[in-house]
Amino acid sequence: MSGNPKTLFEKVWESHLVAEPANEPALLYIDLHLVHEVTSPQAFEGLRLAGRKLRRPDRTMATIDHNVPTTIEGRLKIEDMIAARQIDTLRKNCADFGVTLYDVESSEQGIVHVIGPELGLTKPGMTIVCGDSHTSTHGAFGALAFGIGTSEVEHVMATQCLPQSKPKTFRISVEGELPDSVTAKDVALGIIGRIGTDGATGCVIEYAGSAIRSLSMEGRMTVCNMSIEAGARAGMIAPDETTFAYLKCREFSPKGPDWDKAVGEWKKLASDEGAKYDRELVIPAIELAPYVTWGTSPGMVIPVTEAVPDPAIAKSDADRRGFERALEYMGLKAGTPIEEVAIDRVFIGSCTNSRIEDLRAAAKVVAGHHVHAHVRAMVVPGSQKVKAQAEKEGLDHVFRAAGFEWREPGCSMCLGMNPDILQPGERCASTSNRNFEGRQGRGGRTHLVSPMMAAAAAITGHFTDVRTWEFKKEEVLA
C-alpha cells in the first residue's frame, strides 16, 4: 500500500465516491439498500409521484419485521388494520418496483439486520443503508453501514447514492480478556456508559483491541448495533478470519475462485499501521462487568453490583433534571441496589440480541430452572433461520420447559409496534437497545441487559449477577 496510512473507514469511503463537488457533500455510492415496511411506503410513493424508477432493484432487498405479530395465529390474520395495510403496501411496492421481498411466510424472513448477514448479503467493504438506525449492525463485517430517514430512502431508490458529509473517525479499543459472563452487550453498554449517548455524534466508530477481536460475529454485530446509542453514524470492525468463516458458504457469498479473490480483497481493508483517527479511547476489558440500565437513556447504566445513582452526581443542571425525571419515570429511588429491583417481564430478542449465540447463552442460564412466578418471559428469535437452528439444538424446549414463550421472528417488543407491548408501570429486563420512555409500551419501564442477565432475571424475578449463577443441566446444550 502506497501513500498515507488509511483507516478501515477511509478505505471504504474512498472506494465509493461517485463525485466530490466543491463546497458540497460528497456523493457516496450505496452497494446494498435494505428495506422494511415502516420507513419505505412514503419513499416508494415519492418515486411514483416524481415518475422516477428504482435505479437498482438488484441492490435492494426487503423484509417484513417491525410491525408483524410474533404468534402464528396473529400472523395468519393481522388484526391491526393499519399495520396490515402497511405490510400490504410493502408487498405491492416490491412487486411494482421489482424488489426481492422476504415475506412473512418465507423461511428466510426475520429482522432486517439479522437476515442481511445471515444470507451473506452483508459483506466487508460494502456501503449499506436502511431506513433504520440500527443499520450500524452490519459494520461488524467491515462494511460502512448507517441508518437513514425516509427522504434518503427515496434518494437511494432513485439514485443508488447519497450526498454525505465525511464523518470523523473514533477508534475505541477494548484490550485484554473479557471477564467471565461479560458479553458483547456489556461491552456496548460499558462504552455508552463511559462516553454518553451523544459521545460519538458525527463519528464513525472503529472497534478494535483484543477483546473485540475475540468476539464472534454475533458478538461483533451486537457491539456495532449499539453504536447509534452512542450517537455514532456507524460502527465498524475490520474483517478477519472470524468474519470470513462466518461468510463462507452463505447464500450470497462469492463461491469458488471468486471467494478466494474476495477474501484477498477483504484482507486489505483493515486499518493501516499508523493510520490517524480524530479521536481514540482505550478501555481495559477487565474494567467491564455485566450491566443494567437504570434510566431512560442507554447511557444511564451501572454494573449489576451497584445501586441506582444519586442525581447529585450529574455533571450539569440539565443532566441532573434528566436524572430526576428518569428516576421518577422508572419508579426507582437513588441508592437502591439494582439487584433488589423486581421485574414483571423479560424480553429476549431484537436486532441487538436475537441471534443463535444469544439464545444459546440465555438457554444455558435457563436450563434446569423455572421462570419466577411473577414474571412473564418471552424469546423472539431474530429470524426464521435462527429459530430453526435453535429448535434443532433443542433450545426451544429449554425455554418452554422453563416457562418462556417461544415466538415467531420480528422486532417485537423492542419497539412495540406489534401486539407485544408492556402495560403501564410494568418493568422489563430486555435484551433490546433502547430504554426510552414508552419505547416498549406507554408507561413501560425498560432495563437493558445481556441475554444471560435477562435469563437470570427471569428465573429469580429480579436483576441478578450472572457471574454468581448456578448453571444446571449443561449437558442439555452440549
Partner 1 sequence: MKSFRKLTSKAMPLDRPNVDTDQIIPKQFLKRIERTGYGEFLFYDWRQDKDFELNRPQHRGAEILIAAKNFGCGSSREHAAWALSDHGFRCVISPSFADIFHSNAGKNGILLVTLPEEQVQTLLDRAAKHEDHQITVSLEDKTVIDNHGFSATFTIDPFRRYCLLEGLDDIGLSLRHESALDKFEQKHDAEFWVAPKPRETAKGSAHA
Which of 112, 121, 237, 304 is in the footprint of partner 1 by CB under 8 A? 121
> Minimal distance in Å, beta carbon 50 to partner 1?
7
Q: Is 23 in the site for partner 1 (CB under 8 A)?
A: yes
> Minimal distance in Å, beta carbon 107 to partner 1?
5
Three-state SS sequence of the chain: CCCCCCCHHHHHHHCCEEECCCCCCEEEECCEEEECCCCCHHHHHHHHHHCCCCCCHHHEEEECCCCCCCCHHHHHCCCCHHHHHHHHHHHHHHHHHCCEEECCCCCCCECHHHHHHHCCCCCCCCEEEECCHHHHHHHHHCCEEEECCHHHHHHHHHHCEEEECCCEEEEEEEECCCCCCCCHHHHHHHHHHHHCCCCCCCEEEEEECHHHHCCCHHHHHHHHHHHHHHCCCEEECCCCHHHHHHHCCCCCCCCCHHHHHHHHHHHCCCCCCCCCCCEEEEEEHHHCCCEEECCCCCCCEEECCCECCCHHHCCCHHHHHHHHHHHHHHCCCCCCEHHHCECCEEEECCCCCCCHHHHHHHHHHHCCCCCCCCCEEEECCCEHHHHHHHHHCCHHHHHHHHCCEECCCCCHHHCCCCCCCCCCCCEEEECCCCCCCCCCCCCCEEEECCHHHHHHHHHHCECCCHHHCCCCCHHHHC
> Minimal distance in Å, beta carbon 13 to partner 1?
14
Q: Is 255 in the site for partner 1 (CB under 8 A)?
A: no
> Minimal distance in Å, beta carbon 472 to partner 1?
38
Which of 12, 32, 140, 212 is in the footprint of partner 1 by CB under 8 A? 32
Chain positions 439 to 478 lying near partner 1, rule: CB under 8 A, are 439, 442
Q: Is 145 in the site for partner 1 (CB under 8 A)?
A: no
Helix 41-50 vs helix 81-97: angle between axes, to the nearest 10 degrees?
50
Query: In this structure, what are the phi and psi dihedrals at residue 415, rounded to the nearest 5 degrees?
Result: -130, 0
> Minimal distance in Å, beta carbon 143 to partner 1?
10
The one-letter amino acid at 366: V
Q: Are 171 and 276 in contact (CB under 8 A)?
A: no
Distance, in Å, from the CA atom of 274 to the CA atom of 260, rounded to the nearest integer, reads 27
Which of 61, 145, 187, 191 is in the footprint of partner 1 by CB under 8 A? 61
> Minimal distance in Å, beta carbon 284 to partner 1?
27
Ramachandran category for residue 47: left, alpha or beta (phi over 0 → left; psi -120 to 50 → alpha): alpha
Chain positions 2 to 21 lying near partner 1, rule: CB under 8 A, are 16, 18-19, 21
Which of 181, 225, 297, 383 is in the footprint of partner 1 by CB under 8 A? 297
Stretch that binds partner 1, among 25-33, 216-224, 336-344, 358-366 (CB under 8 A): 25-33
> Minimal distance in Å, beta carbon 476 to partner 1?
30
Interface pattern 204-243 for partner 1 (x via CB under 8 A): ------------------------x--x-x----------
Stretch that binds partner 1, among 197-205, 278-286, 305-313, 366-374 (CB under 8 A): 197-205
Cβ-based nearer residue to partner 1, 19 or 76: 19
Distance, in Å, from the CA atom of 269 to the CA atom of 206, rounded to the nearest integer, reads 12
Q: Are 61 and 121 in contact (CB under 8 A)?
A: yes
Q: Is 132 in the site for partner 1 (CB under 8 A)?
A: yes
Q: Is 140 in the site for partner 1 (CB under 8 A)?
A: no
Which of 111, 114, 148, 304 is in the footprint of partner 1 by CB under 8 A? 148
Chain positions 335 to 374 lying near partner 1, rule: CB under 8 A, are none
Q: Is 423 in the site for partner 1 (CB under 8 A)?
A: no
Cβ-based nearer residue to partner 1, 416 or 451: 416
> Minimal distance in Å, beta carbon 67 to partner 1?
6
Q: Is 391 in the site for partner 1 (CB under 8 A)?
A: no
Interface pattern 156-195 for partner 1 (x via CB under 8 A): --xxxxxx-x------------------------------
Q: Is 107 in the site for partner 1 (CB under 8 A)?
A: yes
Q: Is 142 in the site for partner 1 (CB under 8 A)?
A: no
Cβ-based nearer residue to partner 1, 315 or 475: 315
Interface with partner 1: number of residues (CB under 8 A):
90
> Minimal distance in Å, beta carbon 24 to partner 1?
5
> Minimal distance in Å, beta carbon 182 to partner 1?
26
Q: Is 82 in the site for partner 1 (CB under 8 A)?
A: yes
Which of 74, 75, 80, 213 is in the footprint of partner 1 by CB under 8 A? 80
